[in-house]
Structure 1
Amino acid sequence: MYQIYSCIADLHHPGLVIMAALLCLLGTFITMRLYRRAQHTQGVQKAGWCVLGAGTAGATIWSTHFVAMLGYRPGLPIELDPALTSLSLLVAMLGASAGLLIAMLSKWRLAPAYGGGLFGLSISAMHYLGMLAYRVQGLVVWDMGYVVASILLAVGLGALAFHLAHRLRGGWVPALVLSLATVSLHFTGMAGFGVSPLLLEHELTNPPAIQALAFAVAGVTLLIFGAGLASYLIDDSVRLESVRRLHFLAMNDALTGLPNRESFNNHLEHELARAQIAGGQVGLLYIDLDGFKAVNDLHGHAAGDEVLRLLGQRFKALDDEHVHLARLSGDEFAAVLRMHSVEELSLFAEKLQDVINQPMPTSFGLFNLGASLGGAVYPQDGHTKESLLGNADLAMYRAKRELGQQVCFYEPAMDERVRLRQSLASELRAAIEHDQLQVHYQQQIDIATGRVRGYEALLRWQHPTRGSIPPSEFIPLAERDTTILLLGEWVLRKACQDAARWMHPCSVAVNLSPMQFIHDDLPSLVRRILDETGLAPARLELELTESSIFADRDKALAMLTRIKALGVSIALDDFGTGYSSLDILRSFPFDKIKTDRSFMPSIEENPQARAIISAVLALGRSLDIPVLAEGIETPGQLELLRDMGCAAVQGYFLGRPKPLTALVEAGQIALLHEGLPA
């Protein structure tokens, strides 16, 4: 150890030693940043970041060695072989490239350590090849103990640096360790370097010239560092802009530019919390357009979109710090009003009516629309967000039913309708026992081959007196209590029983409700049903939405891990409608992304809708998660998705949901046991 210290203190120029150390530290930090960026990219981008990282790494270790070597003072004339010096730089870059590529092998747990070890070997090869280029008038003697120790230090510290880079988020600690690998190799090796002078007549090397050469090398190296760092910072800026853009798209409606449902819910929660602390009232209005369906039916979706855009512009003009207007879906809007009296909500409802009732000039003609508005006020009409939303919804439906009354506010008498809904919920529990439910299957198509990848199981209820009741009516009722657990188990078992009888081993997708997902018994239930039905776990796909994860992220991750351990696939349904989508994809092990069907109706005419789908597809490719687009209803939509590189599609244009018997009769599904009823 003393010999190493003596070598640094007595035989090296202190200024050049400091310069070499600073170059090494800066270069290794930039190298580690570029390495981490390459880890999170694919294809050509990964190759590009590897090239930048290898170039920066090679320049770092070569310039550190070169400047420190120029700072070595043997007291004898020296020369540098230009061919070997150039070759040492090439060896440094090639070795660094190989080390970085091995370290990024994601399927090999020890890859970072092995890649770092190879990186250390490349440092060693560069150093000792560079020493061969160092010609001094004397007899060179090497202490092999120091030589071996220097190589072991470079390999060991290199492996540790990349291991830490793989485990830690920060870049300074791995960079310090990698710097130590480079510096320790050089000075430990130089401690074993001895020269016996030969009495030859020759002028000593000019020290100012050596220092000028060292500064020139440092300057060129800093230019290389600058290129790598600039590329990293530019990419960071582009990524930040993309995240901001995706955040805007996630929180705002693509067609009207108004806040979407997620933004609306967040704002309502904020206003309710503020009112609880500071006092005051919060008004809520549900707005449902009257006559909008006729515009779509008679003039097409393009006309409807133009009407919605115009209405969105009018609504934006009403926004201020007290008013928040949002588009929830289709022709449904909502407004949150910070206020001090109920009269303010009535006046604002009248203002909304005036705005909506104004004629709407479009390229398709002049349209006159109306709207049904339902209002509720916190705290008298509800103390929670859910109760306030429910009561405003009830008031809005009453406004739609009652002729001549476009605005209704919540009244306790509406409890009667709630009781009717409770009655329907009770009948739903009986429907499970009396076999009134059916599972229909909708095919999911591989867009490249046109072949069926699998089927999604969709629940249908045929009521003995009310007829067919749509899922949009009875699923929310089931989610109000534990009925959804019974319903979910029935659908899961039925879908697995049916799929186990299919001759072709297609997958079957089953939706999970948020209440099902948070139930601790779900993994055991899935395992039990798979065992009972004999369905291979790889053929079952469970679909859940982001709302299933929001309540308890840690518990959700543990639940997904347990289900994945069974061999079952997990799909994220309705992607693109929630603010936390990007973080959820990063944190949870999904096998598939399903885009929300609400993007499809306007994708052919609306560039923003296409941009969202394109962004989701790009995100899926970068994360290596296949994307399935739902809601395909026209050939144009299918062709657009094909051009965008979408993996799979599903929708009415490709096939409506049908019971198993109909699919068997049509020859779309063949059963293993034809004698059994489908």
Structure 2
Amino acid sequence: MSVLGCVVYKHNLWLVVVALLICGAGSWVTARLVLRAFSTHALQRIGWSFIAAVVAAADIWCTHFVAMLGFEPGVPVAFDPVLTIASLLIALAGSFAGFVIATSPVTQRLTRVAPALGGAIVGLAVALMHYAGMLAYRVEGIVIWHRGWIAISLVLAVAISALALHLAGAAAARAQDNAASMRASTNAPARRVAVVLALAIAALHFSGMTAFQVEPLAIGGHFSNPAALQALALAVACMAFVIAGAGCVSFLLDDSVRAESVEHLRTMAMSDMLTGLPNRASFNARIDAELARTQDTRKLALIGIDLNRFKEINDLHGHHAGDEVLRILARRLASLVREGEFVARVGGDEFVALMRFNTRDELGDLLSRLQDALYRPVRYDDAEVLSGASLGVAIYPDDATNKTVLINNADLAMYRAKSDLSHSVCFYEPAMDEVARARRSLTHDLREALARGQLSVHYQMQTSVATGEVCGYEALLRWEHPRLGFISPARFIPLAEENGLILGIGAWVLREACSRAVAWSPPVKVAVNLSPVQFAHADLPKLVETVLVETGLAPERLELELTESAIFADRARSLDVLQRIKTMGVKLALDDFGTGYSSLDTLRSFPFDKIKLDQSFVSESESSREATAIIRAVLALGKSLGIPVLAEGIETKEQLSLLADEGCDEVQGFLLGRPAPLSQIVASGQLSLQTDDEQAIQMGQG
């Protein structure tokens, strides 16, 4: 009698339902795992292929076995253990081989039908498993096989399985082309692949069973124990669900790990690695989102923040100290942010803040909190560092109608705050655009002037009060702009310092002055000013040594002038630099004495050869008793320390007479001579220039 007839008339229906559930659940999990294998690479792909093969083999074998246990042929049945186990191994090996071939990029490069080819191998494994299992199914009767149904079952298994993996491969290719995540792209394709794969298993099973008929030999004999077979079927079904569940859990765990990894990468991409604050990308996303909220009637404030003395901290204490200061300030900023407010680090020492507000008082509260956080001293390695910051505020839509203009205007306001030491916070004003454009244009022109040789050096004499003889000349930088004419050093020197141009300009002035002075007769000193920025950022001793060697100027003829503010920030480093310069034989002058940080300790601790009395005291000496008293005090201090004093800004004979009476050593000012080009000084007869031979003789004698 036909086993198909048993399915209709003598079959345990609940086992049929269980078999179908196994088939559906296992196919769905297998489909998800196969799609995951398509989306991974190298060993991961093989690993997912193996897990998919384990679940598929359990699905195929358990579906077949439970369905077989549900048959009631009316004769005793048994299972050959070797063939039963072999059928499971066939399903496992064939599925693994098929999935590897289907998902491998090597086979996909060889043929575009690689997924279908792998599917066909899986289908063939399903068929071989089925018939090996049927051979293991022993009944007391005559087994009759119908070859036509066997062929049909093989064709159905191979073709439908090939279609299933072809659909999986096409879905994976679309996901890669769309740069979409596999998790997002496998929901609908997984259902289609699962349905087709389940259809392949079911079609093989039922068409294969149609090819199988049994003629019983035992009539009225003993029968198999139905309860025992059902218990076995239940145990097999439980194991099938456990294996499918394990595959599902592995998939879900991988999804969870991937989600965590994606979130971690997103956090890394949107966060500053040093401080943990949101970074520039996060800021751009936030400001775009804020500007897109057209329904929000509140105004949007963008606050640009730039630390004032961060470069100084790096130079004096090292970059590790600078990093620690940034981390500490970042923690302060993060702790002050309230709901609706946003703070990010967008550059080295640059931060930004965003907030929506209804009243200026709300904005003022945030600005107050920011200032408090940024101006509080930072303790680092038992030292106290004070950075401070400049804040520039631009408001949308009052000051700008789009993101680019808003950011630019906040920057303009910030730079205004940076240049105006009396205000740490500046709000954008339309006039700032013109000022900023002019500064940018002038900075560009200054850079071009250095490159094109448009800068020049003028010289102002320094005269001995006692003898009236010229004892030296101070080199003064001048810039004749091709369109704007003479540009005051008070205007372009700060620009050069802000933009780093002062390093190149300062080196050029030093080299130019030394190369000209080497030919002077008589061989008087040349004095060159050093910018605080140049003193802090350049390897000054090496530069001075190089220039002296290149130009051939005797070291004792060079005098470097610097203000106390240049050495105040890091006294230990400054002392080391100045001592290295002194070792070469170069003279050092303390410029603008009497202003700023002037102190007796500076003169006592540092190896200065001259004090330059600031011209402000000289100009007020005829009208201010206090100024006269300061002049006398400085001159007396110089005599007691054995350091000559040079007074600047001498414009009247009365001023010169006062200084002579008080015992001043040297003077400099318009009364004695205005700054002039070297050619004009030579033409006046104050200096003459030696020939190359005379210079060589002088250098040889030196």
Normalised by the length of structure 1, the TM-score is 0.60
Alignment map for 1:573-652 (pairs within 5 Å): none
Q: Distance in 2 between matches of 1:244 and 1:133?
A: 52
* Residue of structure 2 in register with 1:225 after alignment: 244
Alignment map for 1:229-240 (pairs within 5 Å): 229-240=248-259
* Residue of structure 2 in register with 1:191 after alignment: 210
The alpha carbon displacement at 1:329 in A equals: 1.6
* Residue identity matched to 1:91: I
Structure 1, unpaired ranges of 5+: 431-463, 474-678
Q: Distance in 1 between matches of 2:266 and 2:5?
A: 58
Relative to 1, partners in 2 of residues 1:141 and 1:258: Cα closer, same or farther, differing over 3 Å? same
Matched, 1:266 2:257: no
Structure 2, unpaired ranges of 5+: 172-185, 449-481, 484-491, 500-702
Secondary structure of 1:12's counterpart equals coil
* Residue identity matched to 1:375: V
After superposition, what is the alpha-carbon deviation per residue over 1:629-662, rounded to whole angstroms, capped at 9, x for unaligned?
A: xxxxxxxxxxxxxxxxxxxxxxxxxxxxxxxxxx
Matched, 1:43 2:62: no
After superposition, what is the alpha-carbon deviation per residue over 1:78-119, rounded to whole angstroms, capped at 9, x for unaligned?
A: 111001000110111000000110110233421111111110
Alignment map for 1:515-526 (pairs within 5 Å): none
1:119–1:155 CA contact under 8 A, matched in 2: yes
Q: Distance in 2 between matches of 1:125 and 1:229?
A: 26
The alpha carbon displacement at 1:150 in A equals: 0.7
Relative to 1, partners in 2 of residues 1:380 and 1:239: Cα closer, same or farther, differing over 3 Å? same
Matched, 1:178 2:177: no
Secondary structure of 2:104's counterpart equals coil
The alpha carbon displacement at 1:244 in A equals: 1.7
* Residue of structure 2 in register with 1:389 after alignment: 407
After superposition, what is the alpha-carbon deviation per residue over 1:21-63, rounded to whole angstroms, capped at 9, x for unaligned?
A: 1101111111111222222223333332222111111111011
* Residue identity matched to 1:260: N
1:282–1:338 CA contact under 8 A, matched in 2: yes
After superposition, what is the alpha-carbon deviation per residue over 1:351-402, rounded to whole angstroms, capped at 9, x for unaligned?
A: 3222111110123632111111111111210121221111111111222223
After superposition, what is the alpha-carbon deviation per residue over 1:125-175, rounded to whole angstroms, capped at 9, x for unaligned?
A: 000011111111111111111111111111111011111122333311111
Matched, 1:156 2:159: yes
* Residue identity matched to 2:46: A
After superposition, what is the alpha-carbon deviation per residue over 1:577-625, rounded to whole angstroms, capped at 9, x for unaligned?
A: xxxxxxxxxxxxxxxxxxxxxxxxxxxxxxxxxxxxxxxxxxxxxxxxx
Normalised by the length of structure 2, the TM-score is 0.58
Q: Distance in 2 between matches of 1:322 and 1:71?
A: 66
Alignment map for 1:235-246 (pairs within 5 Å): 235-246=254-265
The alpha carbon displacement at 1:343 in A equals: 4.6
* Residue identity matched to 1:96: S
Secondary structure of 1:39's counterpart equals helix
Q: Distance in 2 between matches of 1:400 and 1:426?
A: 20
Matched, 1:413 2:413: no
* Residue of structure 2 in register with 1:137 after alignment: 140
Matched, 1:110 2:113: yes
Matched, 1:257 2:276: yes
Matched, 1:318 2:353: no
Relative to 1, partners in 2 of residues 1:424 and 1:92: Cα closer, same or farther, differing over 3 Å? farther
Q: Distance in 2 between matches of 1:176 and 1:44?
A: 28
Match of 1:121 among 120, 124, 129: 124
Secondary structure of 1:337's counterpart equals strand
Q: Distance in 1 between matches of 2:81 and 2:137?
A: 10
1:7–1:191 CA contact under 8 A, matched in 2: no
1:142–1:193 CA contact under 8 A, matched in 2: yes
2:75–2:223 CA contact under 8 A, matched in 1: yes
Q: Distance in 1 between matches of 2:296 and 2:238?
A: 61
* Residue identity matched to 1:207: P
The alpha carbon displacement at 1:4 in A equals: 9.9
Relative to 1, partners in 2 of residues 1:8 and 1:423: Cα closer, same or farther, differing over 3 Å? farther
- Of residues 43-52 and 209-218 in structure 1, the stretch that sits farther from structure 2 once superposed is 43-52
Q: Distance in 2 between matches of 1:421 and 1:225?
A: 71
Q: Distance in 2 between matches of 1:207 and 1:8?
A: 15
Q: Distance in 1 between matches of 2:269 and 2:348?
A: 16
* Residue identity matched to 2:92: M
Relative to 1, partners in 2 of residues 1:291 and 1:402: Cα closer, same or farther, differing over 3 Å? same
1:288–1:331 CA contact under 8 A, matched in 2: yes
Q: Distance in 1 between matches of 2:434 and 2:210?
A: 92
User: What is the alpha-carbon root mean square deviation over aligned residues?
Assistant: 2.9
Relative to 1, partners in 2 of residues 1:191 and 1:401: Cα closer, same or farther, differing over 3 Å? same
Alignment map for 1:234-383 (pairs within 5 Å): 234-274=253-293, 276-363=294-381, 365-383=383-401
Secondary structure of 1:285's counterpart equals strand
Q: Distance in 1 between matches of 2:304 and 2:3?
A: 78
Q: Across the two proteins, how many residue pairs are aligned to each other? A: 432
Relative to 1, partners in 2 of residues 1:4 and 1:307: Cα closer, same or farther, differing over 3 Å? farther
Q: Distance in 1 between matches of 2:38 and 2:400?
A: 50
2:417–2:423 CA contact under 8 A, matched in 1: yes
1:31–1:53 CA contact under 8 A, matched in 2: yes
The alpha carbon displacement at 1:199 in A equals: 4.4
The alpha carbon displacement at 1:69 in A equals: 1.2
* Residue of structure 1 in register with 2:684 after alignment: none
2:38–2:169 CA contact under 8 A, matched in 1: no
After superposition, what is the alpha-carbon deviation per residue over 1:199-257, rounded to whole angstroms, capped at 9, x for unaligned?
A: 47841212112111111111122222222222222222222222222222222222222
2:46–2:100 CA contact under 8 A, matched in 1: no
Q: Distance in 2 between matches of 1:178 and 1:344?
A: 64
Q: Distance in 1 between matches of 2:62 and 2:358?
A: 70
Q: Distance in 1 between matches of 2:252 and 2:218?
A: 54
* Residue of structure 1 in register with 2:17 after alignment: 18
Q: After the TM superposition, which parts of structure 1 deviate over 6 Å for at least 4 consecutive aligned residues?
A: 421-427
Q: Distance in 1 between matches of 2:283 and 2:116?
A: 48
Relative to 1, partners in 2 of residues 1:421 and 1:156: Cα closer, same or farther, differing over 3 Å? farther
Relative to 1, partners in 2 of residues 1:354 and 1:123: Cα closer, same or farther, differing over 3 Å? same
Q: Distance in 2 between matches of 1:270 and 1:294?
A: 36
Q: Distance in 2 between matches of 1:298 and 1:422?
A: 29
The alpha carbon displacement at 1:424 in A equals: 9.4
Q: Distance in 2 between matches of 1:76 and 1:146?
A: 24
Q: Distance in 2 between matches of 1:399 and 1:4?
A: 93
Relative to 1, partners in 2 of residues 1:304 and 1:425: Cα closer, same or farther, differing over 3 Å? closer
